[in-house]
Chain A
């Protein structure tokens, strides 16, 4: 699929769920998880909730690859910064002026758990949900059609414009534009590359507008959809249930904080 989406097609039960159900589920995992302040909370959610869901969706390996690729620099820097720049605390060891603190390491451990589960949760959702089906269900739930169109078409068009940018790059290079070298040379090359791309894209906007208007984009009739989006009473109930549980968790967290 020639799109920015990381969606992986599978015949799994998770894939077959209504996109809104997955959307609500992943929102609940995100918000509900933040209600727990225990240092292990993030890891528990990752291994006890998100990982089994990923196994259900048949995308565990891909999910962990992406989570690892995206989060390792972040987690590394969290550990370095929190342990070495923690103010007062128990020093683990000392080398000259440098002394990592135990409290800092523990805090970094807790933050990393949160980073991992939030990321895994979001990646799992993207791996199992086609953006267009999500937009159709969000539209049915009341999102304006124009906005949904912009989001989905942008995901598809960005790779197309990236390809176009490469063509412009080649064209300008073949006319002798220096694009490699020090930062000044590179900065100078930017304008002749960006300008043609931006101007041609702006000109294309009008044509694209005509093309979608020619297909009754602004019609005021009730829209239908070629994609069948599965939904059921039990999924609707589940969505309502998940929203209530999340609200209760967050409310409980605030009450607990107020009382202590």
Chain B
């Protein structure tokens, strides 16, 4: 069942002439993990803000079409009510820390305080959310004393604790080192496995290939491909349009042109690549074959 529905959405930022999103039609089913890919400026962040209600409630500008989550329409709601439908986390973990709290525990409770959750229930929910993202041991630390990966997990937990129906993540690992990236993706994967509906804008194609149920490719504000990761991430169209693709796909594409890749499908991950190459590597010339 579709929980998120974008119906013919076109959007222009204030004081601009060209739309950033053009006639976007898309659905996301409950429990689905959808990755959004696209070059810089393709409209990934704007799409995230649109689903999360910040377009048009925060950024203003001109929007046509409808954004629906669980049957209610974004433009007819308020931002502070809409965030209970759709939770948003983004790139810079430092800027997502409220600054008004002295410990991680209190930081995570900030959103619940704002929506008036009673104290006993709040403590329970914060503890549950921290357990879910594996940061219980950070509870008494200052949010500013943490590493980037830890801070980003705190930011994610601060959103999760509000129990949104859909989680929107705008390149949550773009400022992380490899360790931070692994930490954050670990949490996202665990959430997806628990049945959370996740929309993730991301550049790191190899992670997407491993995790996502579906990949949507955005190019200049339009959806140009939408389907299974193994299909979308290896399509020729994306390579032509200059998308950043997996290095395994790029290598196999060259190998295919040289007749060294015989499988029909190109690989996205290391495992697929290893499998493909070992099975079809032609025997070297000059061995009397």
Which A residues are within 8 Å of any B CB, using their own CB?
Answer: 1-3, 130, 132, 135, 149, 152-154, 156-157, 160, 204, 207-228
Contacts of B39 in A (CB 8 A): none
* B53, chain A: closest CB distance, angstroms: 9
Choose among A130, A212, A225, A226 the residue that contacts B98 (Cβ–Cβ < 8 A).
A212
* CB closest chain-B residue, reference A148: B100
Is there a chain A Cβ closer than 8 Å to B33's Cβ?
no
B95 touches A217 (CB 8 A): no
Assess A132 versus B119: contact at CB under 8 Å? Given A215-B158, A215-B162, A216-B114.
no
B115 touches A211 (CB 8 A): no
What distance in Å separates the Cβ of A116 from its nearest Cβ neighbour in chain B? 30
From A130, A153, A208, A215, B114 is in contact (CB under 8 Å) with A215
A167 to chain B, nearest CB (A): 12
Alpha-carbon distance A2/B104, docked complex (angstroms): 13
Q: Are B80 and A225 neighbours in the complex by a CB distance under 8 Å? A: no
Q: Nearest-CB distance from A168 to chain B (Å)?
A: 15
0 or 1 for each of B17-43: is its CB under 8 Å from A? (1 = yes):
000000000000000000000000000
Q: State how many angstroms separate the Cβ of B137 from the closest Cβ of chain A.
A: 18
Contact present for B95 and A204 (CB under 8 Å)? yes
B242 within 8 A of A: no
Task: In the A-B complex, list the 10 residue pairs whose CB atoms are closest, starting with the nearest.
Answer: A215-B111, A153-B99, A226-B109, A221-B116, A207-B95, A219-B80, A211-B96, A216-B114, A216-B80, A214-B88
Q: Which residue of B lies closest to A218 (CB)?
A: B80
B274 at the binding interface (Cβ < 8 Å):
no
* 6 extra A-B contacts, CB within 8 A, seeds A156-B144, A215-B114: A153-B98, A210-B90, A214-B111, A215-B158, A221-B114, A224-B117
Closest to A1 in B: B102
Is B113 interfacial (CB-CB < 8 Å)?
yes
Q: In the assembly, what is the distance between CA of A84 and CA of B89, in Å?
A: 64
